[in-house]
């Protein structure tokens, strides 16, 4: 199957640049997420991939074939792509099976071939038993699976998904994540999944393209994004919100504590720029560590989440297996691992 490539893609609406200089290479069969805050240009990218919008600059290719560039624009129906929206867009007067088979009817497929392909698509999303129901007799998750089957029935090379879980409650979203994983495994299609939910993107995608204000800020695996974000902004956007940024110079120049200095040296932190500390990098109850006051202890089932305050006023998030009294003081040491670009800096590292 064919890989998807975007080179220098931009889209302007009048004076406004919704997307600028976007370059991405997506391997055939890869599951990628476009992630970013509202208005960052994700949907515009998806619409350019689908062919609903023409890029103002750059080109989009699928395999060796150019889909869009300055002079060419292959229409949506000739792109071999399927699209799934958050609104499902199912026909209420048709059965589940007829909804799924609709794209085949449009292509003039009939008879046993039609029945076989509809049956296979329904089986893939585990809805064969509900084939004769109407969409309004289904749950939200089931409707979304019908939309997936309808997209799949035409065997697209690329499936574009625009916030497909946005209308579902939290419980159902987790179950549907599993459906998407299974769908990806069985179909072998290249999936491009737009979301503003970082945990959803991390759970599903092989690689994530994070966008901000129309530009790509990082393109990497979920693990790299979490552990080695390129910028302060990304560090806050991905993973638990509370990261400790030690701005400026050598940690310890302004945070007292020998243990912190030792940890910083051990981790090879040169003391330039802020340093990322995730909650799992905070060790509690250490002698000789920094003193921290427990401001908040929230029970999260498998652990407590602690809001700590260091002597210099910095906030820190930590995990603990046992409850610690709010207002108490403990020692902490920090496992300092990753130096970040300051907010004003340009992301440059992989
Ligand atoms: N047809 C259009 N005409 C003018 N401006 C547009 C058009 N479509 C999108 N925009 C603008 O382009 C920017 C990017 O919009 P886009 O819908 O791609 O963002 P998004 O990241 O998908 O946001 P959300 O998560 O809220 O859907 C926004 O500022 C939006 O207002």
Atom number, ligand 1, closest to the C-alpha of residue 13: 4
Residue pLDDT, tens place only, 120-158: 888 878 889 999 999 999 988 888 889 888 988 888 889
Ligand 1 centroid to 67 CA: how many Å? 22
Atom 17 of ligand 1: nearest residue by CA position:
43
| Ligand 1 pocket list (CB less than 6 A) | 13, 16, 18, 36, 38-44, 196
Rounded CA separation 135/133 (Å): 7
Atom 8 of ligand 1: nearest residue by CA position:
44
CB burial of 233-245 (b: ≥16 within 10 Å; e: otherwise) equals bbbbbbbeebbbb
User: pLDDT tier at 169 (50, 70, 90 boundaries)?
Assistant: confident
Question: pTM for this structure?
Answer: 0.82
| Amino acid 65: pLDDT | 93
CB 90 within 8 A of CB 99: yes
Per-residue pLDDT for 339 more than 70?
Answer: no
Atom number, ligand 1, closest to the C-alpha of residue 41: 18
Query: Higher confidence at residue 328 or residue 241?
Result: 328
Residue pLDDT, tens place only, 277-306: 788 878 888 676 678 899 999 999 999 999
Q: Which of 19, 40, 217 is the pocket-test mutation for ligand 1 (most atoms within 8 Å of CB)? A: 40
Per-residue pLDDT for 8 more than 80?
Answer: yes
Atom number, ligand 1, closest to the C-alpha of residue 47: 18
Residue pLDDT, tens place only, 207-222: 999 999 999 999 999 9
The residues pairing with 61 across neighbouring beta strands, listed in sequence order, are 5, 66
Atom 3 of ligand 1: nearest residue by CA position:
13
ipTM (interface pTM): 0.95
Ligand 1 centroid to 16 CA: how many Å? 10
- Average confidence (pLDDT) over 13-28: 96
Beta-strand runs (E) in the chain: 4-13, 16-26, 31-35, 57-62, 65-68, 81-85, 158-162, 190-195, 207-212, 215-220, 275-276, 282-284, 290-299, 304-310, 315-320, 329-334, 338-339
Residue pLDDT, tens place only, 182-207: 878 878 889 999 999 998 999 999 99
Atom 24 of ligand 1: nearest residue by CA position:
38
User: pLDDT tier at 98 (50, 70, 90 boundaries)?
Assistant: very high
Ligand 1 centroid to 19 CA: how many Å? 9
Ligand 1 centroid to 39 CA: how many Å? 5
Ligand 1 centroid to 191 CA: how many Å? 21
Atom 7 of ligand 1: nearest residue by CA position:
13
Ligand 1 centroid to 41 CA: how many Å? 6
Ligand 1 centroid to 265 CA: how many Å? 45
Q: Delineate the domains of the chain, giving CATH numbers in brackets.
A: 4-237 (3.40.50.300), 258-339 (2.40.50.140)
Ligand 1 centroid to 82 CA: how many Å? 21
For all residues of the chain together, what is the average pLDDT?
83
Atom 1 of ligand 1: nearest residue by CA position:
13
Ligand 1 centroid to 55 CA: how many Å? 14
């Amino acid at each position: 199957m064919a890989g998807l490539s975007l080179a220098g893609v931009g889209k302007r609406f009048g004076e406004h640049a919704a997307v600028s200089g976007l370059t991405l290479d997506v391997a055939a069969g890869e599951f990628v997420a476009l992630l970013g805050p509202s208005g960052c240009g994700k949907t515009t990218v998806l619409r350019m991939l689908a062919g609903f919008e023409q890029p103002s600059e750059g080109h989009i290719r699928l395999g060796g074939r150019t889909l869009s560039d300055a002079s060419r624009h292959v229409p949506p129906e000739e792109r071999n792509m399927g699209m799934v929206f958050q609104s499902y867009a199912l026909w209420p007067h048709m059965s589940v099976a007829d909804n799924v088979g609709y794209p085949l009817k449009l292509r003039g497929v009939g008879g046993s071939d039609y029945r076989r392909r509809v049956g296979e698509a329904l089986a893939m999303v585990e809805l064969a038993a509900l084939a004769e129901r109407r969409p309004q007799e289904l749950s939200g998750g089931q409707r979304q699976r019908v939309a997936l089957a309808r997209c799949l029935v035409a065997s697209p090379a690329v499936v574009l998904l625009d916030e497909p879980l946005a209308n579902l409650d939290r419980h159902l979203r987790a179950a549907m994540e599993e459906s998407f994983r299974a769908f990806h495994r069985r179909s072998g299609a290249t999936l491009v999944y737009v979301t503003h939910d970082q945990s959803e993107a991390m759970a599903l995608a092989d690689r994530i393209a994070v966008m901000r204000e129309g530009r790509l800020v990082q393109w990497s695996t979920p693990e790299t994004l979490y552990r080695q974000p390129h910028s302060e902004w990304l560090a806050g956007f991905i993973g638990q919100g509370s990261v400790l940024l030690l701005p400026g110079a050598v940690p310890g120049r302004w945070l007292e504590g020998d243990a912190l200095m030792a940890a910083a040296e051990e981790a090879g932190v040169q003391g330039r720029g802020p340093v990322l500390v995730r909650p799992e990098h905070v060790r509690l109850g250490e002698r000789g560590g920094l003193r921290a006051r427990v401001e908040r202890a929230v029970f999260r089932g498998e652990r407590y989440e602690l809001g700590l305050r260091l002597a210099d006023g910095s906030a820190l998030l930590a995990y603990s297996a046992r409850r610690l009294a709010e207002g108490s003081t403990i020692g902490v040491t920090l496992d300092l691992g990753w130096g970040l670009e300051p907010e004003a800096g340009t992301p440059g590292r992989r």
